[in-house]
Chain A
Amino acid sequence: MTMQGTKEQNSLEARLVLVDDDAEGLPELKELFEYMGIHAATYSCPFQAKDRVLSDPVIEVMVTDFRMSMLDGQELIQSIRSALPAGRHVSFAILTGLVLPNGHTILGDVPCYGKPIEIDLMIDYVKSKLKS
Chain B
Amino acid sequence: MVKNTKIFKYLGGLILGISGAIVNTCSVNLGWGLDVVFGQALVVAGLRILSPAQFVGASIISSSITLLLWQHPWAWIIWALEAATLAAFGRKSSLAALDAAFWLLVGAPLLLLTYGAVMGMGALDLVLVITKQAANGILNVALGELGYLAFYALLGRRRVDSPKLPIETVASSSLVALCAMPLLVFMRITAGETEYALRQYANASADAAIEGALRQIQIGGTILRDSAGPAIDQPVSAIRGLQGGQATREQSVSVYRQKAGQVIRVSGRSSIEITQETCRSLEPGATTFFTATAFGTSKMTSLRSGLMIKCVEINGDSDRLVAVITLESEIAKIRESQAVIIAVIISLFILIIFIVNIFVKAIQGAIDRLIVRAMALSISEAAREDSDRPANATSEFFNEIENLANKFTLVTMEVASQQNRLRAAHIVLQSVANSAPIGIYSSDLGQHISGGTVEFSVGVERLLGLAEQGASRPWRWKDLIHPADLERVLADKGALPRSGHISTEYRLLHRDGKYVWVLDSASVELNTSSGAPQIVGVLLDVSARKRTEQQLLHSDKMASLGRMAVGIAHELNQPLHIIRMAVSNLSRAMRSDNWSKDVVIHKLNLISSQVDRGAAIIRQMKLYGQFPGEDIANIDANEAIKSVVEIMSPFLEEARVKPSYHSQVETPMIAASPIAFDQIIVNLVENATDAVASARQKGRSASKIHIELKQSEEWITVSVEDDAGGIPASIADLVFEPFFTTKPPTQGTGLGLSIAYGIAKSLGGDLTFENVPGGVRFDLRLPVGKSIR
Seen from chain A, the residues whose Cβ lies within 8 Å of a Cβ on chain B are 3, 21-25, 28-29, 31-32, 35, 67-70, 95-99, 114-117, 119
Contacts and interface: CB of A to CB of B under 8 A. Distances in A.
Of A21, A28, A29, A98, most buried by chain B (CB within 10 Å of CB) is A28
Nearest to A95: B577
Contacts of B576: 115-116
B570 A98 contact: yes
A32 B585 contact: yes
Interface string B564-600: 0010011111101111111011001000000000000
Contacts of A70: 744
9 contacts: A21-B744, A25-B574, A68-B744, A69-B742, A69-B747, A98-B566, A98-B570, A115-B576, A116-B579
Contact of A116 (B577, B694, B742, B744): B577
B744 A3 contact: yes
Contacts of A119: 580-581, 584
Interface string B726-745: 00000000000000011111
Q: Chain B interface mostly helix, strand, loop or mixed?
A: helix
Given A22-B744, A69-B744, A28 B578 contact: yes
A117 B570 contact: no
Contact of B566 (A28, A68, A99, A117): A99
B315 interface: no
A95 B582 CA distance: 16
Contact of A35 (B577, B580, B588): B588
A69 B569 CA distance: 18
A96 B697 CA distance: 24
A24 B570 CA distance: 16
B581 A24 contact: no
A24 B743 CA distance: 16
B746 interface: yes
Given A24-B746, A25-B578, A28-B606, A35 B585 contact: yes
B610 interface: yes
A67 B570 contact: yes
B571 A97 contact: yes
Nearest to B741: A69
Nearest to B582: A28
Of A25, A70, A95, most buried by chain B (CB within 10 Å of CB) is A25
Contact of B585 (A22, A31, A99): A31
A119 B587 CA distance: 13
Contacts of B747: 69
A41 B644 CA distance: 42
A3 B578 contact: no
Nearest to B610: A24
A44 to B, nearest CB: 8
Given A67-B570, A99-B569, A28 B581 contact: yes
B697 A117 contact: no
A43 B572 CA distance: 22
B164 to A, nearest CB: 98
Given A24-B606, A28-B582, A99-B569, A117 B744 contact: no
Contacts of B609: 24
Nearest to A117: B577
Given A115-B574, A115-B577, 8 more contacts: A22-B578, A22-B746, A23-B746, A24-B746, A25-B574, A28-B606, A69-B744, A98-B569
B573 A114 contact: yes
